[in-house]
Amino acid sequence: MANCAIVGINWGDEGKGRMVDLLTDGFDVVVRYQGGGNAGHTVINEYGKFALHLLPSGIFRPGVVNILGNGVALDAENLWREIEELTQKGVTIGPENLKISDRASLLLPWHRDLDVLEEARLKDKPYGSTKQGIAPFYSDKYQKKTILAGELFYPEKLKEHLAGLAEWKNLILTRVYGAPPYPLERLMAWIEEWGEKIKPFVSDTGAYLKKARTEGKRILFEAQLGALRDLDCGIYPYTTSSNTTAAYAPVGSGLSSAGITDVVGVVKAYSTCVGEGPFVCELFGEEAERLRKAGAEYGAKTGRPRRVGPLDLVATRYGAEVQAATELALTKLDVLSGFDKIPVCTRYRIGGKETDRFPFPAALDGAEPVIEYFDGWRSDISGVRRFEDLPEAARRYVLFLEESIGCPITYISVGPERDSIILRKRNAEKEGELS
Catalytic machinery residues:
13, 41
Decide if residue 6 touches ligand GDP (CB under 6 A): no
Query: For residues 7-46, which are near ligand GDP according to CB under 6 A?
Result: 8, 12-18, 39-42, 44
Q: 106 or 315, CB closer to ligand GDP?
A: 315
Query: For residues 41-60, which are near ligand GDP according to CB under 6 A?
Result: 41-42, 44
Q: Which residues contact 230 (CB under 8 A, 6 or more apart)?
A: 239, 240, 243, 244, 245, 322
Decide if residue 409 touches ligand GDP (CB under 6 A): no
DSSP H stretches of helix in 122-181: 134-142, 155-171
Q: Work out how close the CB of 14 gets to ligand GDP at its nearest, in angstroms, rounded to a whole number.
A: 5
Q: 277 or 416, CB closer to ligand GDP?
A: 416
Name which of 262, 245, 257, 338 is nearest 293 in CA terms: 338
CA angle 208–210–212, rounded 5-degree value:
70
Query: For residues 313-332, which are near ligand GDP according to CB under 6 A?
Result: 331-332
The region of 6-14, 95-103, 128-136, 362-370 touching ligand GDP under the rule CB under 6 A is 6-14
Decide if residue 335 touches ligand GDP (CB under 6 A): yes
Q: Work out how close the CB of 169 gets to ligand GDP at its nearest, in angstroms, rounded to a whole number.
A: 31
Identify the burial level of 177 via C-beta atoms within 10 angstroms of its C-beta, where 0-12 means exposed, 13-18 middle and 19 or more buried. middle
Q: 41 or 229, CB closer to ligand GDP?
A: 41
Number of residues that bind ligand GDP (CB under 6 A): 22
Decide if residue 413 touches ligand GDP (CB under 6 A): yes
Decide if residue 311 touches ligand GDP (CB under 6 A): no
Q: Work out how close the CB of 188 gets to ligand GDP at its nearest, in angstroms, rounded to a whole number.
A: 35
The region of 21-29, 134-142, 384-392, 411-419 touching ligand GDP under the rule CB under 6 A is 411-419
Q: Which amino acid, 183? A: P
- Contacts of residues 430-435 at CB distance under 8 Å and 24 or more positions apart, as own/partner, are 434/408, 435/387, 435/388, 435/395, 435/399
Q: Where are the beta strands (DSSP E) in 102-152?
A: 105-106
Binding mask 282-301 vs ligand GDP (x if CB under 6 A, - otherwise)? ------------------x-
Q: 56 or 195, CB closer to ligand GDP?
A: 56
Decide if residue 414 touches ligand GDP (CB under 6 A): yes
Q: Which residues contact 214 (CB under 8 A, 6 or more apart)?
A: none
Q: Which residues contact 243 (CB under 8 A, 6 or more apart)?
A: 34, 71, 230, 231, 232, 251, 252
Query: Measured in whole angstroms, how far is the alpha carbon of residue 113 from the centre of its chain?
Result: 23
What does the alpha-carbon distance between residue 124 and residue 198 come to, in Å, rounded to a whole number? 38
DSSP state of 177: T
Identify the burial level of 328 via C-beta atoms within 10 angstroms of its C-beta, where 0-12 means exposed, 13-18 middle and 19 or more buried. buried
Decide if residue 423 touches ligand GDP (CB under 6 A): no
What does the alpha-carbon distance between residue 431 and residue 388 come to, in Å, rounded to a whole number? 12
Q: Work out how close the CB of 87 gets to ligand GDP at its nearest, in angstroms, rounded to a whole number.
A: 21
Q: 219 or 269, CB closer to ligand GDP?
A: 269
Hey, how many other C-beta atoms are within 10 angstroms of the C-beta on 377?
22
What does the alpha-carbon distance between residue 421 and residue 384 come to, in Å, rounded to a whole number? 8
Query: For residues 60-119, which are near ligand GDP according to CB under 6 A?
Result: none
Q: Work out how close the CB of 7 gets to ligand GDP at its nearest, in angstroms, rounded to a whole number.
A: 10
Q: 118 or 417, CB closer to ligand GDP?
A: 417
Q: Work out how close the CB of 295 gets to ligand GDP at its nearest, in angstroms, rounded to a whole number.
A: 7
Q: 11 or 208, CB closer to ligand GDP?
A: 11
Binding site for ligand GDP (CB under 6 A): 8, 12-18, 39-42, 44, 300, 331-332, 334-335, 413-416
